Amino acid sequence: MRYKDEIDFKELLKNPIRLFGLSYIYFLFIGGIIGAYYILSFNSITRNETTPIVLADSAQFVQDIPMQRGALIAPVNVTEVGVSSKSLIDKGALLFKTNCVSCHGDNGMGDGVSAAAMTIKPRNFHSSVGWKNGRKISQIYKTLQDGILTSGMPAFNYTPAADRFAIIHFIRTFAADFPVDSLSDLLDLERVYSLSKGTQLPAQIPIKLALQLKAQECSNDVKTVEEFCSSMASTTQEELGAKIAMNVSANQGKIVTVALSAKGKNLDDFIKSVTSDPITIGFKASVARLSNEEWNALYSFLSKVNKDKKS
Ligand code: HEC
């Protein structure tokens, strides 16, 4: 006996639409799953999860002022240093090596080792393109004075004026077409920067360091009036006075005022002025019960505070 095939494959191949008739349910099902997955993870699918949003630390891109020793910028005569000479160019070449090569490169092409990491590239001195302040001596002087801080060109305002002119003459040897300054351009430099007078530049430290030092200073500071008083006292008599002052004062902050008022008074006047109205000036009433010896100690302590306050 021959059984009929359960699935008639030949028949199915002849009429493939019937095959679809059986499987569309599975496609629907899979489509449904994909759809559900998409909707459920909509938040993460639409975002690039590999680069999480990080707020930049402002300390990384806000430049602090550098540590600088105070300096006297020696006076120069602008009509002398403003004129190029072999000795100025030679001097400038040396200064260029130590100050500028790291960014502007050995040959002033703007390809120094630090340049690679900079978004705004250091100027190529061989090209006349893109100069912001300009290529005249007077304009480059301004660049060195102020820097172009937004793009990473530092200020060289602590470099002596004569050295700056030497560097300028040197970098102007990189191309033949540097524009010439008129006499009035140079005299303008003198007018703006008083080059013939020289400049006294104050020392400066980075703001961050200053804040740290200040915080340290504050945490080292005597914290309580007690500590303040005993730190002021240098003899046992004064120390005793400091203790008494702590005991008999109602308002420790006012003691210093009392100390100031003790100035020029002898012991008797001092006792009188305190006992006449102790409460108002920050003492407790018990101050009236001090022994002579204790008054003595208190007096010598407060006049010592007074002395130190003045100095
Ligand atoms: C920390 C890197 C760095 C150092 C060091 C540096 N420069 Fe620059 N310099 C730059 C950058 C960056 C620019 C481009 C600035 C811009 O295009 O805004 C620039 C531009 C200049 C310019 C063109 C200004 C203009 O008008 O566009 C001059 C001139 C210059 N530098 C001179 C010097 C001299 C001279 C020195 C050394 C005394 C020096 N630089 C040291 C980074 C530096």
Question: Hey, whose CA ends up nearest to atom 2 of ligand 1?
Answer: 103
116 and 232, same domain (yes or no): no
Residue 114 and residue 120 in contact, taking contact as beta carbons nearer than 8 Å: no
pLDDT tens digits, 125-181? 999 999 999 999 999 999 999 999 888 899 998 888 999 999 999 999 999 999 999
Query: What's the pLDDT at 170?
Result: 96
152 and 98, same domain (yes or no): yes
Calculate the alpha carbon distances from 184 to 12, 131, 172, 194, 304 in Å.
100, 21, 19, 14, 63
* Structural domain span for residue 251: 225-310
The answer to whether residue 55 sits within a structural domain is: no
132 pocket-lining for ligand 1 (C-beta < 6 Å): yes
Cα–Cα dist 158/12, whole Å: 92
131 pocket-lining for ligand 1 (C-beta < 6 Å): yes
144 and 241, same domain (yes or no): no
Is residue 247 scored above 60 in pLDDT?
yes
Q: Which of the four pLDDT bands, split at 50, 70 and 90, describes residue 311? A: very low
Calculate the alpha carbon distances from 82 to 179, 186, 195, 248 in Å.
13, 7, 11, 74
Query: Two tokens at 257?
Result: 């005022």
Query: Two tokens at 285?
Result: 């009433």
Cα–Cα dist 119/6, whole Å: 74
78 and 119, same domain (yes or no): yes
Question: Hey, whose CA ends up nearest to atom 40 of ligand 1?
Answer: 100
Total domains, the chain: 3
Main-chain dihedrals φ then ψ at residue 198, nearest 5 degrees? 75, 165
Cα–Cα dist 243/246, whole Å: 5
Ligand 1 pocket test target in 88, 95, 98, 104 with most atoms within 8 Å of CB: 104
35 and 81, same domain (yes or no): no
The answer to whether residue 183 sits within a structural domain is: yes
77 and 190, same domain (yes or no): yes
138 pocket-lining for ligand 1 (C-beta < 6 Å): no
